[in-house]
Structure 1
């Protein structure tokens, strides 16, 4: 970690007001204070909590603390900005909004676009899961969701707003005048901040052991350990709204200050009694110095509370562990509400994985407290509590509750599956951390469940205290930055060559209906060439490139590929271009292009219908448009019903009939986001200050590079041809538009004709004939079951009279069917009931004999070895292990022959 020269922390503000610069006797950090007696920086863990004894304004709720902060900075010339969602839709490299500065990365912080206001003030709900295991035990120091109130100033080389002096002065005035904290108890601790490739000095504002704010001065870019000064210098502050509420309410835990009556409701529903007040206050004092990931520190925490309250250690441990689970449920259920309210769909990937992580950790805590309570009931309390602050919770309440009920069901199924898998794995050896991570990632099995099952088998498994934090850290961001455009298929030398040309004039945007034109040849290299203007659409945005032909010096070339390098379009011909002419005639394959336009516009049309029928949580998770069909992958937690699919199609085709206009807009990014929100970014986030927007009037609006129609009527019609769940939380739709609908119907007609032939039915009578065959098949199956039952009864007599060799009953029986799966099922059932039985079933098939063998639990013989010895004697082949084996003999064999061989072996 780099540090600036200590002189860079010396401010005129400190000098004017008589602040002293001191060094913390414990942590050795430098800090500024008006208090001559302070010898520590007043921050945990160097100082235990004592802010409950510090005077301040009384009892601010979270909402009141937020409003007081915003009002103060608005009065001081800052424009209030609406907070963004907790899922960072505008970022390609991050799933969740972890701080207020994330709202302005990378587009504002890189200088690409101006901020929405300068200076500005915001209170941004943020989610950080890296410390999820610590939530609860530290009584409020750790939260997965918190509001970061912040004021930001963006200082350009030609326009300074304000910097260190003003930022520190604002903090001092806010805390002393608005929160009424004595100025001599405020401490400004010198520190250094780094994150996201940027860095800068900062002050941490602490009082009574609690850090209330961090004041960062982002001024460096960090690359390969080197610090380069940025032209754009940013004031990046963060004030803890929940901490301000806790500080002013003077409650022993932050959870009481944040959640108020909701905490009491949780206690009543879950049957968790409040610990005695003196235990809570002793925990309050000790919590600042608690290192929750260190077992020794946790033990000392319990011992101190026990020593100072008179309760024995086990009582304290029981109280604190149960309350920690309760607090984490309060915290997690709020986080879940915000995640789902902003449209996250739980899944096994991306932000959906993180939502499921929080849900399952909450369900795990609930299971240990009271497993007959539904998590959805607890989340509903949070929706009512925070709905006024975050409207999306009320708007999406039905979705939130439905998803949690669905996730609870999946969790119970996971536990049942997990117990079986755990028992199987325990047989093969020990389970380490990576095994636990794999079980959780692949199967969703919490490590505590594995540990419980292992304990029953006498195996002890150590679970890291920070297990869920480890998981969250591994999944907090994409492993590589998500790309808007597909990876270029061009060779590296061609990409480098193309970067030397000026931007191509994109005529497919100016007039997507143009079929041909004459352009200027700017350069060629082998079969690659670049024009000043082009009608050929390059692969990108889920739409494949145009095909067609060009005429160069009187010679015709087929265009086999079109790619984009930055703003330059590279055309790929079917062979090397030898001629050099100024003018080139272009002609695209219009029928192919028009089908692509129909399918691409159809994708936007379908997205609008999906959101209206399935809900606002629907987001694009992938798309592809070809001349043959369109494909759209969306986030959704279950397969749509037949009724929902009909309604989706009905709405889409209704909009087609309405011939709604399709508008092509070019807008400033900030203006576009303010007007349309982040739903613009369905297919990715373009790194441009101006965004091209495709707007289907009053239906769907997206940032999009593709080619589109002028009105919805031109789509002609839309038919969904296939719907499937491709992974948990992702549903795939395939569809056709325009004339492809008729072609698809022709395929269906041909299938029906084929079915007619197979069923030997007349046209229109296929269903009647199929039902008759089904009834006939059901009757045959019932007869087979009856015959099998009779056969099994007869076999029972044979087994009872089977010879006993070395305490093993041995029987070989000719099986009357060719159904090997039924044979195996029967073997499993009969040997389970008869533990001393070795049974073989012979299945004759032409000149071959298939033998399936199984043994009961008391038969201590490896049937794999028996199978090998039989194979050697009868020139067969086969294998097995333990209590099951199978073999194939290339001739007809009698059951008596096999019985005699096994007798000899035994």
Structure 2
């Protein structure tokens, strides 16, 4: 055995299986494509699921990949142990009905013994206890001694995921030696200690499990293997844990450098170091694959990992934001294998920094709430914080439980962790139910599974809007049928169709399908298994049967309107990059016949000038009348040409390229114009943010632009009538009104100042002394909050004490509390005073120790609230 770096191991594995006629595929994005059963890709086979189920035809019957994966069930253990992590890479070789057990086992053994040169006497294998076939291959063909083959039960060596394809598996273990063991004389493969490390699982998918628990042999069994790259690296580098592997250790050492500490010098610090090291790898890859921080789904996972890492940075004493800097170190170690880390380096760093800064704000809010809850506990002579409160801090403010626990411990308090975890469980159940509602079966299919695998659709809609085809299958009311009659809604599949199926953000075509005795009005078209085009329509005349020959016609006006908007988004994408920078990347789109919607990565609202610049560039391009070229090529050639691939799209070996002369080139399966001059006009209607770092532009093209402008003209005319002006003079009239309003506001402000001055003189006589501090409480009528704040500010300066003002305006209560620094030093806290006073009126609020404001609902309680304020202040001030 020789020392080997993680990146070298990855390449040797992929090269080995390429030599065995496997097609090497790039890692799929961490975001599952067309699979609602997963939040994030968690295994090497997950992106290949459609090939195993037969929903899609694989580009090769033999494939090999190194797949990025994230698993978060044990997130709370990450850092506490040296073996848990959220991000990992899974090496795999796969067979879709081609080779089976013998080849999979022989090649696995060849790779580990001849390529990795791992000594045979260091390895053991496990098999499913009933799998004699695997035993014979290992023993009789490979030559492994019986004492190195361990039979384990179903829980350990049988892979299944609900219903569908499943089967036994065989795992390969490395014996790290007695010094890594538990000392138990019965220690062997399967023990929970660190001696025997399992690094490769060979899954033999040979059964199909039905709803009654029966296992039926598959006609074409599959091979699905998974080797943990980091685990293999620990073996090849002879290190204790994944955190000491070369690429991961580089990130870990950078964390230590930022904190000014050494790894393994302090157990508590080591936990934080490992958390940060693991989590920054996960978040860098997630953002690189288009995930953005949010409060739900995969965005919530990202936010949780980011905030957990940021919190542990605080525990290590790292000042300010630092995770964005660490993301660049991830790029250094993994960027060669995963170019998206290099291409999106600045985007990844910027999103991380923005999220870190946001967390700094929320964590301060959480601290204030926790301090208030601790004060309540002290008054009630209790020392256990409720689990509900701890969960609210976690869920609303991203406040980690361990932080809550640490702060409470400093004051001799504890937290009800059982209830906290119950609340956490409820949240997970809600999230799980939401996902299962979308897709109840991870191996789910559409309503045309009754059709044979060779019953496919040929799409001819790029070349023609009319075609003749045969009805291959129909579904009415969720059930397969042989015929459909007038008035029935029907889903149907044809062998040839010109109808574009909804994909890539473009809506499906509409039109008609008919023969001499029937007419179907098609209102949509979507893709099903194996790329079948499923047409949605209503039988408006006659009846139709399976195997009928029909004439299909796409609505040309609808198709062209959609094409205008789709081609326009390509121009928009290019213009945004020119105006805002290369970090702009499409994050989603929707194009129909009326308008387009384009989502993209950017971190701030576009200025009026930027929007005008983008719109101008697109319209200038349209006036150039550039031709739109559409052609197919292989994915590698497309990349070499510089075609832009869009996030979230799944590309095969053959891709369609849409090239607009020298202006734009993207991989796109949508329908487009032949010349961009056919767009006519382009108009941006709106621009707004839809998520952290994601903006959305909506717009119109062609005749829809004229309709939009006509609508605006109508609004201008209506506005002119209201202003008693002509449309041409609306701006002048508005300026005149603004001038009048400004003059009146100035007059009102002067009257308010005079009123406050008069009121101040009246109120000063009401001030009383409380423990040496002047206290003035007063009520006012008809004052806005700003006016009350100005009044309180002047009174505080005059009394040099504490001022509490409450007023009523339009049925609402406004409260302001202020005090001098001397009052604060003696125990006064404006935020707490305002909060308790507001509670008397049915409201709430708070603020800083020297100034706070609050609101209430019951004006009749104002006087009572002021009395409450006096009592609260008496308790606050030091006697």
The TM-score with structure 2 as length reference comes to 0.68
Shift of 1:570: 4.9
For 2:172, which of 189, 205, 208 is the aligned residue?
205
Per-residue Cα deviation, 1:774-810 (whole angstroms, up to 9, x for no partner)? 5765665566555544433443333343498999999
For 1:148, which of 90, 105, 111 is the aligned residue?
90
CA–CA distance in structure 1, aligned partners of residues 667 and 508 of structure 2: 20
Aligned equivalent of 2:30: 86
For 2:341, which of 369, 393, 398 is the aligned residue?
393
CA–CA distance in structure 2, aligned partners of residues 861 and 468 of structure 1: 29
Aligned equivalent of 1:33: none
CA–CA distance in structure 2, aligned partners of residues 236 and 505 of structure 1: 31
**Does structure 1 residue 377 correspond to structure 2 residue 340?**
no
**CA separation of 1:228 and 1:814: change in aligned 2, threshold 3 A:** same
Aligned equivalent of 1:446: 400
**Contact 2:171–2:200 (8 Å) recurs in 1:** yes
**CA separation of 1:401 and 1:569: change in aligned 2, threshold 3 A:** closer
Aligned equivalent of 2:207: 220
**Contact 2:508–2:526 (8 Å) recurs in 1:** no
Aligned equivalent of 1:595: 561
**Contact 2:644–2:666 (8 Å) recurs in 1:** no
**Contact 2:351–2:693 (8 Å) recurs in 1:** no
Per-residue Cα deviation, 1:136-167 (whole angstroms, up to 9, x for no partner)? 3332x22222222223233x2xxx42x33333
CA–CA distance in structure 1, aligned partners of residues 11 and 562 of structure 2: 51
**CA separation of 1:800 and 1:85: change in aligned 2, threshold 3 A:** same
**Does structure 1 residue 735 correspond to structure 2 residue 709?**
no
Shift of 1:737: 0.1
Shift of 1:322: 0.5
Aligned equivalent of 1:126: 69
What is the number of residues matched between the two proteins? 747
Shift of 1:754: 5.4
Aligned equivalent of 1:524: 485
1:706-721 paired onto structure 2 within 5 Å: 708-721=672-685
**Contact 1:206–1:212 (8 Å) recurs in 2:** yes
For 2:246, which of 258, 262, 271 is the aligned residue?
258
Per-residue Cα deviation, 1:388-429 (whole angstroms, up to 9, x for no partner)? 332222222121222122112211122233345556778999
Aligned equivalent of 2:873: none
1:672-691 paired onto structure 2 within 5 Å: 679=645
Per-residue Cα deviation, 1:784-842 (whole angstroms, up to 9, x for no partner)? 55554443344333334349899999987664xx4544466579879999999886657
Point out where structure 2 has 5 or more consecutive residues left out of the alignment: 128-156, 177-194, 378-383, 440-446, 475-482, 818-829, 843-853, 867-879
Aligned equivalent of 1:511: 464
**Contact 1:601–1:709 (8 Å) recurs in 2:** yes
Superposition CA RMSD, Å: 5.6
**Contact 2:559–2:593 (8 Å) recurs in 1:** no
CA–CA distance in structure 2, aligned partners of residues 339 and 861 of structure 1: 44
**Does structure 1 residue 632 correspond to structure 2 residue 598?**
yes
**Contact 1:72–1:174 (8 Å) recurs in 2:** yes
Aligned equivalent of 1:99: 43
Aligned equivalent of 2:192: none
CA–CA distance in structure 2, aligned partners of residues 186 and 519 of structure 1: 58
CA–CA distance in structure 1, aligned partners of residues 124 and 543 of structure 2: 75
**CA separation of 1:547 and 1:146: change in aligned 2, threshold 3 A:** closer
3-state secondary structure, aligned to 1:150 = strand
**CA separation of 1:840 and 1:267: change in aligned 2, threshold 3 A:** closer
For 2:664, which of 694, 699, 724 is the aligned residue?
699
**Contact 1:92–1:482 (8 Å) recurs in 2:** yes
3-state secondary structure, aligned to 1:733 = strand
**Contact 1:95–1:477 (8 Å) recurs in 2:** no
Point out where structure 1 has 5 or more consecutive residues left out of the alignment: 1-55, 277-318, 484-491, 868-881, 890-894, 900-906
CA–CA distance in structure 1, aligned partners of residues 778 and 121 of structure 2: 94
**Contact 1:831–1:837 (8 Å) recurs in 2:** yes
For 2:357, which of 409, 414, 419 is the aligned residue?
409
**CA separation of 1:888 and 1:392: change in aligned 2, threshold 3 A:** same
Aligned equivalent of 2:283: 336
For 2:690, which of 726, 742, 751 is the aligned residue?
726
Shift of 1:722: 0.4
**Does structure 1 residue 354 correspond to structure 2 residue 301?**
yes
Shift of 1:92: 4.7
Shift of 1:201: 1.5
**Contact 2:90–2:227 (8 Å) recurs in 1:** yes
Aligned equivalent of 2:185: none
Per-residue Cα deviation, 1:177-204 (whole angstroms, up to 9, x for no partner)? 3333331221112322234754222222
CA–CA distance in structure 2, aligned partners of residues 859 and 409 of structure 1: 29
Shift of 1:864: 9.1
**Contact 2:509–2:554 (8 Å) recurs in 1:** yes
Aligned equivalent of 1:649: 615
For 1:238, which of 226, 233, 247 is the aligned residue?
226
3-state secondary structure, aligned to 2:858 = strand
CA–CA distance in structure 2, aligned partners of residues 434 and 671 of structure 1: 56
Aligned equivalent of 2:585: 618
CA–CA distance in structure 2, aligned partners of residues 249 and 518 of structure 1: 61
1:521-600 paired onto structure 2 within 5 Å: 523-526=484-487, 567=533, 569-572=535-538, 594-600=560-566
For 2:217, which of 210, 224, 229 is the aligned residue?
229
Shift of 1:850: 8.8
Aligned equivalent of 1:308: none
3-state secondary structure, aligned to 1:109 = helix
CA–CA distance in structure 2, aligned partners of residues 97 and 654 of structure 1: 42
**Contact 2:269–2:316 (8 Å) recurs in 1:** yes
Aligned equivalent of 1:173: 110
Shift of 1:383: 2.0
Q: 589-598 or 543-552, which moves further after superposition? A: 543-552
Per-residue Cα deviation, 1:207-248 (whole angstroms, up to 9, x for no partner)? 222222222222233443443333332222222322232223
3-state secondary structure, aligned to 1:479 = helix
CA–CA distance in structure 1, aligned partners of residues 551 and 335 of structure 2: 61
> Taking CA–CA contacts closer than 8 Å with sequence separation of 6 or more, which of the two structures ends up with the larger relative contact order?
1
**Contact 1:90–1:681 (8 Å) recurs in 2:** no
**CA separation of 1:841 and 1:336: change in aligned 2, threshold 3 A:** closer
For 1:320, which of 267, 285, 301 is the aligned residue?
267
**CA separation of 1:202 and 1:570: change in aligned 2, threshold 3 A:** closer
Shift of 1:657: 3.5
Per-residue Cα deviation, 1:531-588 (whole angstroms, up to 9, x for no partner)? 9999888988766677889999999x99695677964645447xx7589999999998
CA–CA distance in structure 2, aligned partners of residues 565 and 393 of structure 1: 32
3-state secondary structure, aligned to 1:723 = strand
**Contact 2:498–2:552 (8 Å) recurs in 1:** yes
**CA separation of 1:641 and 1:536: change in aligned 2, threshold 3 A:** same
CA–CA distance in structure 1, aligned partners of residues 53 and 778 of structure 2: 79
**Contact 2:292–2:691 (8 Å) recurs in 1:** no
**CA separation of 1:777 and 1:416: change in aligned 2, threshold 3 A:** farther
1:29-44 paired onto structure 2 within 5 Å: none
CA–CA distance in structure 1, aligned partners of residues 222 and 553 of structure 2: 50
3-state secondary structure, aligned to 2:361 = helix
**Does structure 1 residue 138 correspond to structure 2 residue 125?**
no
**Does structure 1 residue 110 correspond to structure 2 residue 53?**
yes
Per-residue Cα deviation, 1:65-92 (whole angstroms, up to 9, x for no partner)? 2233334444555454433333334645
Shift of 1:120: 3.8
Per-residue Cα deviation, 1:357-378 (whole angstroms, up to 9, x for no partner)? 3222211211211241522222
CA–CA distance in structure 1, aligned partners of residues 833 and 63 of structure 2: 77
**Contact 2:203–2:223 (8 Å) recurs in 1:** yes
The TM-score with structure 1 as length reference comes to 0.67
**CA separation of 1:616 and 1:368: change in aligned 2, threshold 3 A:** same
**Contact 1:343–1:616 (8 Å) recurs in 2:** no
